Amino acid sequence: MAGLGAFVRRLFSTDDAGISVPAMDGVFKPDNRLEEAERLVSLPAIDNLVSSPAGLFCGSGNTLFRLDLGGAIALPVAIAEFAAPISFVASALDGRLAVGIEGEGLQTGQQGAWKRVDLPGDVASCLTAGVFAADGSLYVCVGSRRHPARDWKRDLMEGGSSGMVLAIDSAEGSHRELAAGLAFPNGAVMLGNGHLAVSESWRHRIVAIDPKSPLPVAMLEDLPAYPSRLSPASRGGFWMALFAPRRQLFELVLREDDYRREMMATIDPGEWIGPELAGSARPDQPLSQGSVRQMGVLKPWAPSRSYGLVARCDGSGLPRESWHSRADGSMHGITSVCEHGGSVYAASRGSGTLLRLPDATSGEARHD
């Protein structure tokens, strides 16, 4: 009976008249600037850039790196090694760092003086992002309470909305829940009014959370890609990394419950139809045939599973400018973008490359 109801709703609802995704136009008009960005360092699992008074930090696998940008070439300097992969890094104004460790929870402190913050097991395995407020308090995004961070695709396919935002008191080692029921919160930044902007990946939106109120308010909705980490912009507003594009095929798979369940039950997760961090030249990907590649040439407008996208938003959350690496590029899976020392850096997780964005801070932006 429920199935019949869903069928009738699908037939007559205005919402389900077809499968479509928002257009990449206007501010999101594609260009090639991310592909042409200066490539500084190659780190296979580079993730979560964070600017601190002590330098630019990033996680890559189990290792926390400081990126030495002073010389002729950029050098990653390993400063700490953890027992499991790093899922996020955050930095406070006083130089303190917070590092999320997959399955292990949260560590705060500095080089050589780490302190573990105890968190419940279902929360500790998927810490996706964190941000320090001006008063030193720490907010942490928990992407999912059901799956570890590395299993993000499964959370998407299961329609996960078990994510939450926690306020951590690192001195006392306590935490409190700020917001719950979020669909994979994956990035956070403090706004000028003391509110917290959080990216909800699976709902393709940015929400504002008042630390005094549990109800998130949508700031920016219906993004053309899955948003990831956020970081403050010196011109006001924030930077937004978007790690994978929305495609009609993914939306179809996410809508067709039986198909998706069978796919998850019978096929290896690496082969699932869904967003990816990096492109694949493998011929067994269904999209490799016809619509993506023709006569050996990859069409830039093809509906690829991966994409590179960075956007700068103003204080009200409106996107103002964007940088792209299209289907024929390789700087895909941008999971983090960060302003440091007058330049803007982006981490392409898909290609394992640290990028310096052109025209990101100098002069006026195209749409300002």
Instruction: Please tell me the distance from the alpha carbon of residue 204 to that of residue 190, in angstroms, as a whole number.
Output: 19
Nearer to other proteins, 146 or 367 (CB): 367
Cα–Cα nearest to 349, from 333, 328, 330, 326: 333
3 state DSSP class of 292:
coil
Least Å from the CB of residue 12 to other proteins: 9
Instruction: Please tell me the distance from the alpha carbon of residue 206 to that of residue 185, in angstroms, as a whole number.
Output: 9
Instruction: Please tell me the distance from the alpha carbon of residue 165 to that of residue 57, in angstroms, as a whole number.
Output: 23
Nearer to other proteins, 66 or 204 (CB): 204
Least Å from the CB of residue 182 to other proteins: 18
Report whether 34 contacts 311 (CB < 8 A): no
Least Å from the CB of residue 326 to other proteins: 15
Least Å from the CB of residue 241 to other proteins: 20
Nearer to other proteins, 23 or 295 (CB): 23
Footprint of other proteins on this chain (CB under 8 A)? 14-15, 17-18, 20-23, 25-27, 29, 221-222, 248, 318, 320, 366-368
Strands lying side by side in the sheet with 46-52: 46-52, 55-60, 63-68, 75-81
Residue type, 93: L
As a whole number of angstroms, the longest Cα–Cα distance in the chain is 68
Least Å from the CB of residue 193 to other proteins: 19
Least Å from the CB of residue 29 to other proteins: 6
Instruction: Please tell me the distance from the alpha carbon of residue 7 to that of residue 356, in angstroms, as a whole number.
Output: 49
Nearer to other proteins, 271 or 368 (CB): 368
Report whether 116 contacts 107 (CB < 8 A): yes
Nearer to other proteins, 12 or 113 (CB): 12
Least Å from the CB of residue 218 to other proteins: 8
What's the token pair of residue 233?
């912009």
User: What backbone torsions phi and psi does residue 196 show, to the nearest 5 degrees?
Assistant: -110, 125
Least Å from the CB of residue 366 to other proteins: 7
Contacts of 337 (CB under 8 A, 6+ apart): 49, 229, 231, 239, 240, 241, 310, 344, 345, 346, 347, 357
Nearer to other proteins, 90 or 183 (CB): 183
Report whether 230 contacts 199 (CB < 8 A): yes
Cα–Cα nearest to 168, from 239, 216, 96: 96
Least Å from the CB of residue 223 to other proteins: 10
CA distances, 330 to each of 49, 54, 87 (Å): 19, 31, 23
Least Å from the CB of residue 290 to other proteins: 17
Nearer to other proteins, 23 or 113 (CB): 23
310-327 in b/e form (b: 16+ CB < 10 A) is bbbbbeebebbbbbbbbb
Nearer to other proteins, 299 or 356 (CB): 299
Instruction: Please tell me the distance from the alpha carbon of residue 225 to that of residue 22, in angstroms, as a whole number.
Output: 9
Residue type, 238: F
Nearer to other proteins, 15 or 268 (CB): 15
Nearer to other proteins, 126 or 327 (CB): 327
